[in-house]
Amino acid sequence: MSVHPTSPHFKANASKALADAQLQKALGNVKRGFIDKRAKAVANLPEFEALRNAARDIKNHVLAHLDLYLERYAAKVEEAGGHVHFARDAAEARQIVLDLCRTLGAKTVTKGKTMIAEEIGLNPFLEAAGIRPVETDLGEYIIQLRGEMPSHIIAPAVHLTKEQVAGDFRRVHTALDKDRDLTEPVTLLTEARGVLRQEFLGADVGITGANFLIAETGTSVIVTNEGNGDLTQTLPKAHIVLASIEKVIPTLEDASQFLRLLARSATGQEFSVYTTFSTGPRRAGDPDGPEHYHVVILDNGRSSMLGTEFEEMLRCIRCGACMNHCPVYHAVGGHAYGWVYPGPMGAVLTPSLIGVDQAGHLPNASTFCGRCESVCPVKIPLPKMMRHWREREFERHLNPAVQRGSLGLWAFFARRPRLYRLATSVAVRAMALVDRGRGRFARLPFAGGWTQYRDLPAPQGRTFQDQWKARRAGRAA
């Protein structure tokens, strides 16, 4: 891990995000852009639910046989003339990439969108070594110009407005006419296309991620809409693939199951524009394609998730549906999460990768509405796992004393039902008395943080359990 996480400051990050008018405007696009399109695409495929089950089962099978599939995959890559490098952690992965770039005499590397590169902090590391990384996914290019992290795993610049992008292009593309019109997204896209076309053609090495690694054939698969990943991996003399251990799947048929879910879940497309299967380097007689093909397979803490209550997180195919449907993500955006992976999947994965002491706030930033799990194409029980992290956090005494004390107090009563009922009914009656018909409390002792932003409706004199019992009795009668 080299990108310094700000996850420990999630609360401050979130407050800042809520007060950021430009960000709030941009976040409106998440709700508008993703949810309806996904729903429509899912409705158009009656087998979608069956595919989710199939995909979950394939991933479970792979995770139970992960060592063997990785061996089979590596052997097939090598058979096709490629090279496979394993990396235990981020530092090792960065060093492998740098060594390859140096051996190849690389000065410029183009990059397709890869979250693994973000995870290992590749760009600053290459820059420090005198190698210039150029992001080519439009969203990644924009945030690279701004020196920011992606705020979304499939739409890295979703936190920005077109006016902000226009400002960045004017600041950086100084060779172009100062008075050019950059008011519309299409002019911005055209400008980026022109600038990046030169970078594609001039790069020495192309680095991409991988959506899947296919063990049967030793193939890496990338999925893009722009075609940037393809130009990145086709034009330079070497293609380096960055992937994590859980990306391997058995066969082409299995890939088809996931591909039917991925685009629909991510962008609501029937299929992404470019799905590319790469196997080894350029072959005899090939007029184009990379002469060298390397795959770096990163562990970085994932192997220790296997066999734990967080194993199912390794089924994730990085579609982004969980964050697209998350009310917390909608409210604060991706940067508040403070590291590479935002939203519900980030709230589960980040503590696994950088530690619950660093990222304990993330699994707490949930309303437990369950939408993330209901749209997950591989049915990861994200809310359950966030609860597991809360338990771990509690076990490790990472919560503040007041919170622990209150929970302890509540637990004392909760374990004694009669006492609990008595105490709550006394408290509720007392509150109703104090309220004197106003109907709400604007301020309460020990709950200042809560009442700062909203009023607490005043109890009506009877507890929930009393009302429940009364209603049940009424129904029985």
Partner 1 sequence: MNARADVLAAIRRSIGATGTEQTRVMAVDDRLERAPRGVVPQRGQVAGEERLALFRRMAEYAQASVDEVASAAQVPAAVAGYLRQHNLPATLRMGDDPRLKAMPWGETTLDLATGPSDGRDLNGLSHAVGGVAETGTLALTSGADNPTTLNFLPDNHVVIVRESDLSGDYEDLWRRLRFAHGKAVMPRTVNLVTGPSRSGDIEQTILLGAHGPRRLHIVVVRS
* List 225, 364, 399, 425, residue binding partner 1 (CB under 8 A): 225
Note whether 226 binds partner 1 by CB under 8 A: yes
Q: Which residues contact 340 (CB under 8 A, 6 or more apart)?
A: 3, 115, 118, 119, 149, 150, 346, 350
Q: Which stretch binds partner 1 (CB under 8 A): 9-17, 101-109, 213-221, 412-420?
A: 213-221
Which 8-state DSSP code applies to residue 432? H
What does the CA dihedral 28, 30, 34, 39 come to, rounded to 10 degrees?
A: -60
Note whether 303 binds partner 1 by CB under 8 A: yes
CB of 348 to partner 1, least distance (A): 17
Q: Which residues pair with 124 in a beta bridge?
A: none
Residue (of 34, 13, 45) closest to 325 by Cα position: 34
Note whether 235 binds partner 1 by CB under 8 A: yes
Q: Which residues contact 308 (CB under 8 A, 6 or more apart)?
A: none
Note whether 33 binds partner 1 by CB under 8 A: yes
CB of 374 to partner 1, least distance (A): 19
Q: Give the position of tokens 């380096």.
A: 240
Binding mask 243-262 for partner 1 (x = CB under 8 A): --x----xxxxx-xx-xx--
Do residues 378 and 316 make contact, with C-beta atoms less than 8 angstroms apart? yes
Q: Give the position of tokens 């004694």.
A: 416
Note whether 215 binds partner 1 by CB under 8 A: yes
CB of 105 to partner 1, least distance (A): 21
Note whether 349 binds partner 1 by CB under 8 A: no
Which two three-digit tokens encode residue 206? 């192309």
In terms of CB distance, is 37 or 421 closer to partner 1? 37
Q: Which stretch binds partner 1 (CB under 8 A): 58-66, 348-356, 370-378, 413-421?
A: 58-66
Note whether 212 binds partner 1 by CB under 8 A: no
Note whether 329 binds partner 1 by CB under 8 A: no
Do residues 100 and 240 make contact, with C-beta atoms less than 8 angstroms apart? yes
Which two three-digit tokens encode residue 433? 């008395």
Binding mask 157-186 for partner 1 (x = CB under 8 A): xx-xxx--x-------------------xx
Phi, psi of 252 (to 5 degrees): -60, -35
What SS3 state is found at 195? helix
CB of 28 to partner 1, least distance (A): 9
Element (H, E) at 241: strand 238-244
* List 70, 153, 321, 458, residue binding partner 1 (CB under 8 A): 70
CB of 328 to partner 1, least distance (A): 19
Q: Which stretch binds partner 1 (CB under 8 A): 156-164, 356-364, 391-399, 459-467?
A: 156-164
Note whether 188 binds partner 1 by CB under 8 A: yes
CB of 241 to partner 1, least distance (A): 13
| Positions in 306-325 near partner 1 (CB under 8 A) | 306-308
- Chain centroid, CA 223 distance in Å: 16
Burial class, 220, CB count within 10 angstroms (exposed 0-12 / middle 13-18 / buried 19+): buried
* List 56, 61, 83, 237, residue binding partner 1 (CB under 8 A): 61
- Quote the CA–CA distance of 108 and 205 in Å, as a whole number: 7
In terms of CB distance, is 173 or 421 closer to partner 1? 173
CB of 121 to partner 1, least distance (A): 18
Note whether 35 binds partner 1 by CB under 8 A: no
| Positions in 354-393 near partner 1 (CB under 8 A) | none
CB of 32 to partner 1, least distance (A): 7
| Positions in 261-290 near partner 1 (CB under 8 A) | 267, 269-283, 285-289
CB of 70 to partner 1, least distance (A): 7
Q: Which residues contact 437 (CB under 8 A, 6 or more apart)?
A: none
What does the radius of gyration of the chain's CA atoms come to, in whole angstroms? Answer: 25
Note whether 85 binds partner 1 by CB under 8 A: yes
Which two three-digit tokens encode residue 383? 């809310």
List for the chain the helix, strand, coil content (%; round to 5).
55, 10, 35
